[in-house]
Chain A
Amino acid sequence: MSATNSGSAYSFELKDMNVYYSDKLAVDSVTLSIQARKITAFIGPSGCGKSTVLRALNRMNDLIPGAKVTGDVRFMGRNLYDPNVDPVEVRRRIGMVFQKPNPFPKSIYDNVAYGPRLLGIRQKSTLDDIVENSLKSAFLWDEVKGDLKKSGLALSGGQQQRLCIARTIAVEPEVILMDEPCSALDPIATQAIEDLMLELVKKYTIVIVTHNMGQAQRVSDFTAFYSIRKAAEADGIERRWGLLVEYAPTEQLFSRPTSEETERYIRGEFG
């Protein structure tokens, strides 16, 4: 269940991590290590807890009342849930791109400058520089450089998603978490984001949730397959929770899955 160690450092090391929503177990005992400067894909049926695990990685779950994480979650060897760790710092170092593009209702420039400004950068020339570089890294610069004052909401869906990626890059994170970043996009925009990921992975660790098997195979180095377990309670209510079934280098998981469940899922026979 653990990825082969290629010698590079791990960004995340999870050991027996459970996530609860108001005392209901959502994800059971996840143990996996995520390699730095690689793309790791999370796949699995809807509701199996992919987003939940992803959000546990940058403490986004803290914002949900009643959400609780137990077990050992380490980022660069440090306990992410240590009381001395400030989630604000965590989220700055571990950026997140969401399923639905969510630019601020501000100009393109202000969207990208939002993060640096949070860090107290006021100087116009510095901000200009960061904005330009981030937009270039997100392959958006050529399309928008003429009018950075235009509202971020006036862009197409694919452009908006790249704007969100540029915005994330602008705070110079170490990791970028992406929750189904292409699910609202057409194939051409998806292609652009995939190319972008392959470029970004040279500098960043990337974790991506995807329902698209092809995408996982095209871009990721490692793939984690999650699934759902059900149990009937005494009162007749069904309890469901997610768990990690298999975690391996992508090539291996898709060609020689060890679990029969994985094999059925990647062949499209799940459920």
Chain B
Amino acid sequence: MSAVEVPNTQPIDGRLLAGAEFTRQLAARQRRGRLWARFFSLSTVVAVVALITLLLSIINDAFGFVISTYRVDPTTLAPDGNLELLSNEELAALLPERRLGAYLRDNLSVVPPTEFPSVPLGQALPGAILPPGVAEKTFAETTVEERRSILANNLNVDLLASLVELDVVSEDVRETYTLIESLFERDRIEREYEEKFGGASATDTVKYFRSWLSLDFITAPQASSPEVAGIRTAILGTVWIMAITVVFSFIVGVGAAIYLEEYATGNNPLERFIETNIRNLAGVPSIIYGLLGLAVFVRVLEGITQGRTILSASLTMGLLVLPVIIINAQEALRAVPSSLREASFGLGATRWQTILRTVLPSAMPGILTGTILAMSRAIGETAPLIVIGASTTIFVDPSSVVSKFTALPIQIYDWTRRPQDDFRSIAAAGILVLLVLLIGLNATAIILRQRIRRSLQS
């Protein structure tokens, strides 16, 4: 068929517009089109502005001037005030005497806090390096030197330094200023510093520009005071949880998707019921999954999961993202052209060979994208972790799947709930860390996907 010329002068028959009438109508159609195009670009602008505002407000809180007072000037304790240059013993010697029991109890003891004073230390601190003869004594029977020695020998230098920072140096951030204030209201900040704290002449007060997001913040363990609190414990908790979640949900989710797409016939009422309900499950509020995880993994399966542990959290998160992974994997499998399946079967492949050698490789980019999307959702989920029993008072790094844990969103949530300004600042820094992790996750996904796609095409 050759191209047909559009008649614009003579009507073909009475029903179609022509001539001036057609021109007028065309102009109206074009106008309507332009109106919609403007609406769409406006929507994009709204979305971009919202995102930028969000990011700026976080950055605004994470950087800025602070005015701090110290109980003990850190420069009198270590060169340049850098506590990390001191040895374990030197740090332990600086710790306040009356807090030694609390340090042991919080960081090393495995018995319930109330029993700690009455149990022999060999039993309360199994595996700890103890001075000779101390194992049989209860805490009350030990000398101060023995207590310091246990701390020096069993806590790492970072933790000791942060304890000294917390309880000896005891920096107290009295005033925090946002980035915008720090940039545009320097005079007011200076005036307040003079009026309230005596300015630069005061001995125990300093004003400095503080980046709440810093290497120290990322590498320091969680602590109860915002000046020294770091996010390492939470990052590690999140990394552990995500690692186990992705393994569990990927294997189970892709397996289920393969079954539903490639094996199930679709005529079986049970299969249809399952299909529909997987979609419904994807919309169930995450707190419900938390309750389910609490009942099943924390309580019923306590023998395996050891209660409120990383494993329980990971399995709960795994269930939470499972429907999303299944649905995305199903879509990806469905998108594999049937001509490829036929080609494989036509060469005498079994169903499994066809799946393994043709269907899965073609679907893999889509499956990975879905998985990463699901992980992005999981990494910020807070409610189920709260229900499962993530603790915000964990100061030691997780070391196994049955460790107690805290996680980034939990930590951020906890910090934002506190009234003080400085907690708002570390919460903002924590959010930035979470965002960077999220971007890293998505970047990995994109790179992985491109690489697979390229290897498929050439």
Contacts of B346 in A (CB 8 A): 58, 60, 91, 95-96, 98, 168
Distance, CA A5 to CA B51, complexed state (A) = 78
A77 at the interface (CB under 8 A from B): no
- B342 near A114 (CB under 8 angstroms)? no
A187 at the interface (CB under 8 A from B): no
Shortest distance between the CB of A129 and any CB in chain B (Å): 18
A157 at the interface (CB under 8 A from B): no
A151 at the interface (CB under 8 A from B): yes
Choose among B337, B342, B361, B362 the residue that contacts A63 (Cβ–Cβ < 8 A): B342
Contacts of B337 in A (CB 8 A): 102
- B456 near A114 (CB under 8 angstroms)? no
- A154 near B458 (CB under 8 angstroms)? yes
- B343 near A153 (CB under 8 angstroms)? no
A89 at the interface (CB under 8 A from B): yes
Contacts of B451 in A (CB 8 A): none
Distance, CA A100 to CA B337, complexed state (A) = 12
Closest to B346 in A: A96
Contacts of A154 in B (CB 8 A): 458
- A105 near B456 (CB under 8 angstroms)? yes
Q: How does the 8 Å CB contact mask read for B441-457 relative to A, with 1 for contact and 0 for none?
A: 00000000000000011
Interface positions, chain A 147-197, Cβ under 8 Å from B, are 150-151, 153-154, 164, 167-168, 171
Q: How does the 8 Å CB contact mask read for A85-96 relative to B, with 1 for contact and 0 for none?
A: 000110111011
Closest to B266 in A: A65
A240 at the interface (CB under 8 A from B): no
Shortest distance between the CB of A79 and any CB in chain B (Å): 19
B349 at the interface (CB under 8 A from A): yes
Bin the interface of chain A by size: 20 to 34
- B340 near A104 (CB under 8 angstroms)? yes
- A104 near B343 (CB under 8 angstroms)? yes
A115 at the interface (CB under 8 A from B): yes
- B348 near A115 (CB under 8 angstroms)? yes
A106 at the interface (CB under 8 A from B): yes
B76 at the interface (CB under 8 A from A): no
A234 at the interface (CB under 8 A from B): no
B270 at the interface (CB under 8 A from A): no
- A104 near B348 (CB under 8 angstroms)? no
Choose among A65, A91, A100, A106 the residue that contacts B347 (Cβ–Cβ < 8 A): A91
Choose among A65, A95, A105, A115 the residue that contacts B267 (Cβ–Cβ < 8 A): A65
Distance, CA A104 to CA B336, complexed state (A) = 11
Contacts of A115 in B (CB 8 A): 347-348
Closest to B267 in A: A65
A118 at the interface (CB under 8 A from B): yes
Interface positions, chain B 345-376, Cβ under 8 Å from A, are 345-350, 353, 357-358, 361-362
- B342 near A118 (CB under 8 angstroms)? no
Contacts of A151 in B (CB 8 A): 457-458
B143 at the interface (CB under 8 A from A): no
Shortest distance between the CB of A14 and any CB in chain B (Å): 20
Q: How does the 8 Å CB contact mask read for A110-127 relative to B, with 1 for contact and 0 for none?
A: 000011011100000000
Distance, CA A154 to CA B454, complexed state (A) = 13
Q: List 22 A-B contacts (CB under 8 A).
A: A60-B342, A60-B346, A65-B266, A65-B267, A88-B350, A89-B348, A91-B345, A92-B348, A96-B342, A98-B339, A98-B343, A98-B346, A104-B343, A105-B361, A105-B457, A114-B357, A115-B348, A118-B349, A118-B357, A150-B458, A167-B343, A171-B347
Per CB-CB distance, the 5 closest pairs between chain A and chain B, nearest first, are: A92-B348, A102-B339, A115-B347, A96-B346, A105-B456
Please list the residues of chain A having a beta carbon within 8 angstroms of any beta carbon in chain B. 58, 60, 63, 65, 88-89, 91-93, 95-96, 98, 100, 102-106, 114-115, 117-119, 150-151, 153-154, 164, 167-168, 171
What would 4 more interface pairs be, CB under 8 Å, given A60-B342, A118-B347? Answer: A91-B347, A95-B347, A96-B346, A105-B361
